[in-house]
Amino acid sequence: MKNQKDLIDRALSGDPFPGLPQGHFIDGTFCAAAAGRSMESLDPGRAEAFAAFARGDAADVDAAVASARQAFETQWRDMPAAERGRLLQRVAELIRENAERLAVVECLDSGKPIGEARGDIQGAARAFEYYAGACDKLQGDTFPIGPAYLGYSLQEPVGVAAQIIPWNFPISTAARGIAPALAAGCTVVAKPAEQTPFTALLLAEILKEAGLPDGVCNVVTGTGAEAGAPLAAHDGIDHITFTGSVASGTAVMKAAAENVTRVVLELGGKSPVIVLGDCDREAALDGVMGAIFENAGQICSAGSRLIVERSLHDGFVEALCRRTEKLTLGHGLRDPQLGPVNSAEQLARIAGFIERARERGIEVATGGAETTDPETGKGWFFQPTIAAADSPNDELVQEEIFGPVLTVQIAEDPEHALTLANNSQYALVAGVYTGNFAHAHRMAQRLDAGQIYINEYFAGGIEVPFGGNKKSGFGREKGLEGLLSYCRTKAVAARI
Ligand code: NAI
Ligand code: MG
């Protein structure tokens, strides 16, 4: 516990954080960018530079893809599955051993409260543990094509898998992509977001320590335009898992189309939380607060549209506002209930939504302004905000804000709630609070979303498939289905 406090005190002092990896991780070693350039990651809680990292480009991507290809063909593809599994299990253990350090770095890089970062680190360990156990359970099938034949299938690894990772859940997203890719026998080139490169690099260090052969997992850092785009367009990769905005996901899909590379896209969301009159009110209040204010609302699956039945509405929204006004704000390392948003751009984007909403006459019930860490007067903070939204087609209800902003709509009855919920270009997740079993499961059938949460928002873990419909993307990560993204079926038919 003393080490933990020392680590946090030191990071809070603003001194350079010691021992961070320097450079890309390519072919088992850390190396400078080919062009010799670097860039800085900022600590959102202070709005100040935190550490420098390599600013990569196409030349670095080429080197990483070549290394991943070589490692795929000579090392990883043919390693016995049980051995791969033991290695990934070791990675899970090492993540747990290094948890506090990883959490502090994640907190400094992304801004999120340290308590949330700790949860993310444990989640990353679980992802490796889960897929470690799956390595030797990937099985094919047999086909009944008659006594003169033998028909069977093999699940082969796809090859080199690119991972393009966002800044809101840096290590979680890296782990939920890298672990199943490695489990399936693929090798990896990962490109973390330029706002949050460090935990992916620390993960690479851990993979090496666990005994992963050189080249099996490479990490190239840099911007989307300079490092992400050449990776997505590379003809040496066989699969892309992309998590981020619809615009960048569309660009990635277009680039992938040129090489007919398969893609999994996990894009934005504007997920509804339906609260019916017959629910457990306290559980619903807790759930709605967490759904929108965790990670300051910067979650693709944030519950950003509250749809509450009229019978409950007035008192419920009042109680929500009272709770919201009590939330503590501050630098993530002090573990507040609400941390900063990730960047100045993100802050300006959120403020723009609220400013335009006010111009349209929308009433902001609480919050609605930029602020700073009350202790230091620094950082990119936005007050937790709740706004009534009378028109279901208003920008505030339709667009992903990616900040601590909740809109409230009133439903006359469950059927109306369902109509409002499905009125979106996105369809990632949906939450339902009700005490009525039949209502809950009827809603689960008819809500358009990849994942439904009943009576607990964000319920579930690595075991549960995750991904969206409509503009939220396609393909599923997590669960055994997530493993199949990194496999291709080969069917064999033999005359015997
Ligand atoms: P972004 O989609 O541009 O960034 C995500 C990742 O993609 C980063 O690693 C970035 O470097 C990379 N990238 C960007 N352009 C690329 C390209 N052409 N080819 C390959 N890789 C590329 O997201 P950004 O600009 O940081 O955030 C903008 C908005 O996107 C947010 O306000 C939010 O609405 C949404 N977003 C959604 C996320 C989710 O979890 N679904 C995560 C992050 C952002
Ligand atoms: Mg940063």
Task: Encode the chain (496 residues) as per-residue pLDDT tens digits.
Answer: 567 888 888 888 877 788 899 999 999 999 999 999 999 999 999 999 989 999 999 999 999 999 999 999 999 999 999 999 999 999 999 999 999 999 999 999 999 999 999 999 999 999 999 999 999 999 999 999 999 999 999 999 999 999 999 999 999 999 999 999 999 999 999 999 999 999 999 999 999 999 999 999 999 999 999 999 999 999 999 999 999 999 999 999 999 999 999 999 999 999 999 999 999 999 999 999 999 999 999 999 999 999 999 999 999 999 999 999 999 999 999 999 999 999 999 999 999 999 999 999 999 999 999 999 999 999 999 999 999 988 999 999 999 999 999 999 999 999 999 999 999 999 999 999 999 999 999 999 999 999 999 999 999 999 999 999 999 999 999 999 999 999 999 999 999 9
* Rounded distance from Cα 244 to ligand 1 centre (Å): 4
Domain ranges (residues) in the chain: 2-267+473-492, 272-461
The verdict on the CB of residue 244 being under 6 Å from ligand 1 is yes
Q: What distance separates the 2 farthest-apart alpha carbons in the chain?
A: 79
Q: At what angle do helices 81-97 and 99-110 cross, to 10 degrees?
A: 70
State both tokens at 149: 């034949």
Specify the 3-state DSSP secondary structure of 442.
helix
Most ligand 1 atoms within 8 A of CB, residue of 248, 341, 395, 478 to mutate: 248
Give the number of the atom of ligand 1 that is nearest the alpha carbon of residue 224: 11
**Is the CB of 117 within 6 Å of ligand 1?**
no
Ligand with an atom nearest the CA of residue 230: 1
Atom of ligand 1 lying closest to residue 231 CA: 20
pLDDT for position 129:
98
Q: Name, in order, each residue with C-beta under 8 angstroms of 437's C-beta and a sequence gap of 6 or more.
A: none
Range list of H helices, 140-197: 170-184
Ligand nearest to the CA of 231: 1
CB-ligand 1 contact for 240 (6 Å cutoff) = no
Relative to the alpha carbon of 472, which ligand is closest? 1
Distance from the alpha carbon of residue 169 to the mean position of ligand 1, in angstroms? 12
Ligand 2 centroid to 256 CA: how many Å?
A: 28
Q: Is 191 in the pocket of ligand 1 (CB under 6 A)?
A: yes
Ligand 1 pocket, 194 CB below 6 A? yes
With beta carbons less than 8 A apart as the criterion, state whether 221 and 56 touch: yes
338-349 CB burial, b ≥16 within 10 A, e <16: bbbbbbeebbeb
Q: How far apart are CA 302 and CA 288, in angstroms?
A: 10
CATH tag, 272-461: 3.40.309.10
- Which residue in this structure is represented by tokens 């480009």? 57
Does residue 329 sit in helix, strand or coil? strand
Instruction: Evaluate: CB of 248 within 6 angstroms of ligand 1.
Output: yes
Query: What residue type is assigned to position 31 of the chain?
Result: C
215: left (phi over 0), alpha (psi -120 to 50) or beta: left
Catalytic residue among 116, 226, 266, 477: 266
Residue 446 to residue 184: CA distance in whole angstroms: 33
189 lines ligand 1 (CB under 6 A): no
Residue 93's pLDDT is what? 98
> What single letter denotes the amino acid at residue 245?
S
* pLDDT score of 202: 98
**196 CA distance to ligand 2 middle (Å):** 5
For 414-471, the DSSP string reads HHHHHHHHH-SSEESEEEEE-S-HHHHHHHHHHS-SSEEEESSTT---TTS-B--EET
- Residue 431 corresponds to which tokens in the numbers above? 């939450």
**Ligand with minimal distance to 234 CA:** 1
SS (H, E, C) 351-383: HHHHHHHHHCCCCEEECCCEECCCCCCCCCEEC
Please name which of 246, 250, 350, 241 lies closest in space to residue 304, comparing C-alpha atoms. 350
User: Residue 415: CB partners within 8 Å, gap ≥ 6?
Assistant: none
In this structure, which residue's CA is closest to atom 3 in ligand 1? 248
Q: Give the C-alpha separation, 88 to 70, whole Å.
A: 20
Residue identifier of the C-alpha nearest atom 24 of ligand 1: 245
Which of 446, 437, 427, 367 is CA-nearest to residue 403?
367
Q: Which two tokens mark 381?
A: 């903070």
Span from the CA of 425 to the centroid of ligand 2 (angstroms): 30
The residue assigned the tokens 């090492």 is 94
Phi, psi of 350 (to 5 degrees): -65, -45
2-267+473-492: CATH topology is Aldehyde Dehydrogenase; Chain A, domain 1 (3.40.605)
Q: How far is Cα 47 from Cα 347, in angstroms, rounded to an integer? A: 11
Handedness of CA 415, 421, 425, 431 (dihedral sign): negative
Task: Compute CA distances 116 → 110, 171, 376, 388, whole Å.
Answer: 11, 12, 21, 28
Backbone angles phi, psi at 236, to 5 degrees: -95, 5
Pick from 312, 311, 248, 315: nearest CA to 473: 248
Is residue 52 helix, strand or coil?
A: strand
Distances in Å between the Cα of 244 and the Cα atoms of 1, 270, 380 are: 36, 14, 21
- On whether the CB atoms of residues 327 and 337 are closer than 8 A, the answer is yes
| Catalytic residue from among 107, 300, 477, 487 | 300
Backbone angles phi, psi at 12, to 5 degrees: -70, -25
Q: At what angle do helices 437-446 and 414-422 cross, to 10 degrees?
A: 30
